Structure formats: structure tokens, C-alpha cells
Amino acid sequence: MLHGILTLLLFQFIGECISKFFELKIPGAIIGMVLLLLFLVIKKGSFHALDSSVFWLLRYLPLFIIPAAAGIITQVETISNELFAILASLIFGTFLALAFSAKLMDSLISRKEKR
Amino acid sequence: MNIDALIAYVTSTPLTWIIITISAYKIGVLIYEKNGKHALLQPIVIAYIIMLPILIVAQIPYKQYFESVSILHFFLGPATVALALPLYKNLKLIQAYFFPILITLFAGGVFTILSALGILWLFDASKITMLSMTTKSVTAPITLITAQDIGAIPSLAMGFVVITGLLGALFGTFVFKLLNIKHDAAKGFALGLISHAVGTARAFEISENAAAFAALAMGLVGVFIAVLLPIVIGLL
């Protein structure tokens, strides 16, 4: 498990360093994630310690989100000022985007299978 | 006995808020599991319902709360890197439908941002709300990490992410029936693409195959939007 956590921290660290050094606008953790993905593809597989660390971290992911998410209590003014715009955007935007993506993918698959 | 010393300790130690936060989440998990893991009863939603009134009643400044529980926040970074593993395990699915996946990822990823922004623009919404809306379809850890970098308000962006997740899970069945969607791969991919982890939980109720495509879409769109947004916003 320690080996797995160390691997994740190391990839995050390398990602952050690359982001800072090359002045990239992409968050370092994202670069770390892409590098780990490449590493797994090249290595053609994961290892047990990494599997168990990832399982633990992703299992409790919502817990790690709460500190930042709770900041919503400082945003009451913004939300109440623009409540209608926000609700309309979330409800119709999500409906349209879900319909668009599902229909697009479905027809692309159907076309491919007909050939 | 020294009641003053006790009060001073309880109100100043980070332990108090760490215990309250983990308890709120634990209650969320218990309610979620008691109700057969219903996609709309996400532990995070229940944790919100428990935590927010406590924070308001306790009148603790948010900054102080955040500092107390910053040890939990720290794990977001490694958790984001950890998303590489599920993405890797579902990567082989790409071979089966390479072009449908690639086209839907790009078109759907851009569509979910533009449709939400278009509606906000019609209502003359503020710039900060629009910026915070751009990550609505991105999985939570990537949202929080990206929101800071693009000048959005992370907690506002996070609220939009949670609601988008719930709405996608809620609309799913209706939309798929309405549009006569035939392939589970398309249903799952759309759910993961638009509604991230909540959509993926919903896709599990459709089929294993749908869930695999949802997990794939969630990982891909998270990276796609996290790379695209800072670059596009930097050009504006």
C-alpha cells in the first residue's frame, strides 16, 4: 500500500513540477494522471500496492471533496442573485447535452455496425 | 475540573471539525447503502445537508473550517492521479468503437459547456458564474483542481457539478426512451460524459457494459476539459 501511495504522490509531484517549469496552464495533478496512464500502458499492467491505494482513495473520494465543497456557504449571494439563470442552465443544459451525446454515439455505433 | 480549558480545546482543535466532517460523510454512506445505493442519494448530497446547517449554526468562518480539515483536502491531488487506473482498465473498450468514442467525446464535451454557457448568457449571468459553470460535467476532484486555475469559484463549480450529476441520473432513462437509444455503450458513455461519477453509478443500474463505458467517458472528458479550458480561457 505504501508503495502505491508513494507512486501516486510521485506522479503528482512530477506533474506539478512540469506544470510550473514549462509554465503550462494545465493543473499538475492532471499531468501526473496522464503520465501514470502512459506508465501503465508502457508497463502493460498495474501492481497490487497501486491497486489497493487507488481503491482506498477513490472509495473515499467524496469525503475529500467536502472541505472545498462546503465553501458554497460563502456563495449564497451569487446563487440567490442568479438563481433562475443557474437553474435554467443546469436543467436544460444537462438535458440537452445528455440527449445530444447519447444520440450522437448511438447513431455512430449503428452506422459502424451496418458496414 | 476546568471547563474553560475544555471549551478552548474543543473549539480550537482541528479534530472537532475532522470528526464532524467524517461523521457527516459516514451517515451519507449509511443512508446510501440502506437504500440500495440509489444514484440520487449520493453520500456527498447527504453530507452537504448535514454539514451546511452545522457550519451556519456554529458561525465558524469558512476559512477556519477549511484549515481545520485541510488534511482531507490534501488527498484530492493523489486521488486525481489515481483516476488513471480505472481509465487504464477501461481503455481497451476504445478499440471496439474508436471513432464513435472520439467524436462523441469532443462534440459532447464541447456541447455540455456551450449549452450551459449559452443559457447563462441569455439570462445575462455574471462572468464568475459562467466560469464556474464550465466544469459542470467534470468529475469532482478534477473540477476543484481546474476551477482554481481558470479563475472560477471552486465551491460554486462543485455545487454545479453535483447538481449536473443528479440531473443526468434523473433524466437518463427518460432521454434514452425518448430518443430510442439502442446501445448500452451509448447510454453509458453519455451518462459518464455529462454526469461523471453519479452518471456512472446510474449506468451500473443499466448494465455492466454501460458502466464500463461511463467510467471511460468520465475519465476521458475530465482530462479533455481540464486541458482544453485553461488553454481556451488563456487565449480570451
Residues A14, A33: contact at Cβ < 8 Å?
no
**In one letter, which amino acid is B27?**
I
Per the listing, cell 508503495 goes with A3
DSSP A72: G
Taking contacts as CB-CB distances below 8 angstroms, the residues of chain B near A20 are none
Q: Above 90 in pLDDT, residue B159?
A: yes
Average pLDDT over residues B166-189: 94
Domain borders along chain B are 1-74, 76-236
User: Which chain A residue is nearest to residue B44, measuring alpha carbons?
Assistant: A62
Whole-angstrom Cα distance, residue B199 to residue B80?
Answer: 18
DSSP B150: T
The minimal CB distance from A8 to the residues B78, B115, B182 is found for B78
- The neighbour count for residue B198, using CB atoms within 10 Å, is 30
Residues B176, B150: contact at Cβ < 8 Å?
no
pLDDT digits (tens, 9 = 90+) for B123-145: 999 999 999 999 999 999 999 99
The terminus-to-terminus CA distance of chain B in angstroms comes to 63
- Round the CA-based radius of gyration of chain B to a whole number and report it: 20
In this prediction the pTM is 0.91
Query: How far, rounded to the nearest angstrom, does the alpha carbon of residue B89 sit from its chain's CA centroid?
Result: 21
Give the pLDDT confidence score for residue A112 in this predicted structure: 85
Cβ-defined contact of B126 to A82 (cutoff 8 Å):
yes
Query: Which of these, A92, A4, A30, lies nearest to B194 by C-alpha position?
Result: A92
The minimal CB distance from B155 to the residues A5, A74, A108 is found for A74
Taking contacts as CB-CB distances below 8 angstroms, the residues of chain A near B176 are 102
Q: Above 90 in pLDDT, residue B18?
A: yes
Whole-angstrom Cα distance, residue B193 to residue B59?
Answer: 38
How close B38 gets to chain A, by Cα (Å)?
16
Cell (9 digits) for A13:
509531484
> Mean of the per-residue pLDDT values for chain B?
93
Q: Above 80 in pLDDT, residue A115?
A: no
Whole-angstrom Cα distance, residue A94 to residue B137?
Answer: 9
pLDDT grade for A21, boundaries at 50, 70 and 90: very high
Residues B115, A92: contact at Cβ < 8 Å?
yes
Taking contacts as CB-CB distances below 8 angstroms, the residues of chain B near A64 are 72-76, 79, 141
Whole-angstrom Cα distance, residue A90 to residue B116?
Answer: 7
Average pLDDT over residues A50-60: 92
Taking contacts as CB-CB distances below 8 angstroms, the residues of chain B near A112 are 97, 99-100
How close B151 gets to chain A, by Cα (Å)?
12
How close A24 gets to chain B, by Cα (Å)?
9
How close A3 gets to chain B, by Cα (Å)?
13
Whole-angstrom Cα distance, residue B13 to residue B4?
Answer: 14
Per the listing, cell 473550517 goes with B65
Cβ-defined contact of B186 to A100 (cutoff 8 Å):
no
Q: At what angle do helices B140-149 and A28-43 cross, to 10 degrees?
A: 130
